[in-house]
Amino acid sequence: MASFDNFIFVALPYLAVVVCLVGSIYRVKFMPTTYSSLSSQFLESRGLMWGSLPWHIGIIAIVLGHFLAFLFPGFWQLLVAHKPLLLVIETLGLGFSLLCLAGILVLFVRRTTSSRVQSVTSNMDLVVLVLLLVQVGLGIYTAVSHSWGSAWSLGTTCPYLLSLCAFSPQIDLVQDLPHAVKAHMVLAWILIGLIPFSRLIHMFAVPIEYLTRPWQNVVWLSGRRTESNPQVFQENAARRHFILGGLASLFGISLLSVGVFDKIFRFFFGPRLSAKEESDLMSVRLARLESTTSQRKLELERQENEYILIGSLAELSIDKGKYFIDYQMMPALAFLGKNDLPLLISAKCTHLGCTVSSEAKDGKVLCPCHISYFDIETGAPNADSPAKAPLPHLPWVVMDTRGRELASFDGKSLRGSIDSNKRLSARVYIPKENKV
């Protein structure tokens, strides 16, 4: 498995970049007439417009977002640190991704159904379209199933890419990511490697000099264009551009609002619940009510009791933490620390509040939401983790069966010790504030 990770996260990126650079330079220098877009607009223009326009708008926005996070991670961190901005970024990213998906689907259908376009379509064109379709699909799936990627990528993919640039790959930053995310990354390297051998090379033919060239006067010699009033023709052209721009904007807004419209439609016109469905819904609501009641009882217990039992010292483990709720009604974990004494640490990630895993690997617990690793002994996160603040340690008291204190920790200093003959009967408690 390690060799496979080294291949896809180390060998493949370098190979893709080298092939892209060498192949592109060769094609531009020795095959200068082949690296344009090789547009098929003269063969079919309507499908091209409805596919190319949303695709290019969406992919340019997505690529710029990726590069902005990679090139300016500090600035990006300031943006995503605010939840409203994070939500806006995630929503826009998903919207542009859906725009890409719509565009690439139209382009794929156009390539496979139009006989005129098929005559100039190569096998590589179809391969690239399929790969782009899969890549966009993986991106959308990642955005939906592994949310807040614009935040957790700062501690995973961004430092990984920087380590590649520094020729010191740190694959440990990405090898534990979900399979869909890793597939998304691998497919990106494959597409980069295919640039010299496909139409994708046309990105190097962007006419940037067009923006700075002198003005040109165009004289139409076509009778069809000159027989009518030129001003009317210009007005008609402007009107067409305005209509197309409005339709494109409307299409994008519709994609972003599809979820809202779906919920509204279901609310007013959706099917009514059957007797069984109503019964199941009532059961769910009762379960939620019972959960709320249990939480209230737990809160009252925390207010009334000076000490809360966590469990026996013998059941604590070094590698597997035991979840419990502290006095602030926050999740926490109990481990067996050094000297066979308890180690209680908060389980609430200091980044966006997710609950960290109870499994300790190499003395570290993982926040699965945004891939932050925390050292259970110090509470400190990894240097490149999205989380910057350490997980706080909680005070504890170890007592025997008669309620006599054996050892305690007040959050700063440790007092007492536990004899081996008392270890099996020792119990671990959390105290109220200032009771240790």
Contact in structure between 310 and 334 (CB atoms under 8 Å): yes
Which tokens in the block code for residue 83? 């939840």
The three-state secondary structure class of 414 is: strand
The three-state secondary structure class of 342 is: strand
Which DSSP category does 104 fall into?
A: H
Contact in structure between 28 and 204 (CB atoms under 8 Å): yes
Pairing relationship of beta strands 307-312 and 405-409 according to DSSP bridges: unpaired
Q: In 296-410, at which residue ranges do the beta strands (DSSP E only) sit?
A: 307-312, 322-325, 331-336, 342-346, 364-367, 372-375, 396-399, 405-409
Tokens 């904007």, located at residue: 249
Contact in structure between 172 and 371 (CB atoms under 8 Å): no
Angle between helices 123-145 and 83-113 (to 10 degrees): 150
Which DSSP category does 177 fall into?
A: S
Which tokens in the block code for residue 127? 């391969």
Question: What radius of gyration, in Å, describes the C-alpha atoms of the chain?
Answer: 30
Residue of 377, 340, 374 whose CA lies nearest to 356: 374
Cα separation, 398 vs 400, in Å, equals: 7
Cα separation, 381 vs 350, in Å, equals: 9
Give long-range contacts, CB 8 A cutoff, 24+ apart: 241-247.
244/49
Give the H or E element holding residue 384. Answer: none
Q: How far from each other are the two terminal CA atoms of the chain, in whole angstroms? A: 48
Binding residues for heme b, as ranges, are 56, 66, 184, 202
Binding residues, as ranges, are 56, 66, 184, 202
Residues 6+ apart with CB under 8 A from 35: 24, 27, 28, 201, 202, 204, 205
Cα separation, 432 vs 212, in Å, equals: 70
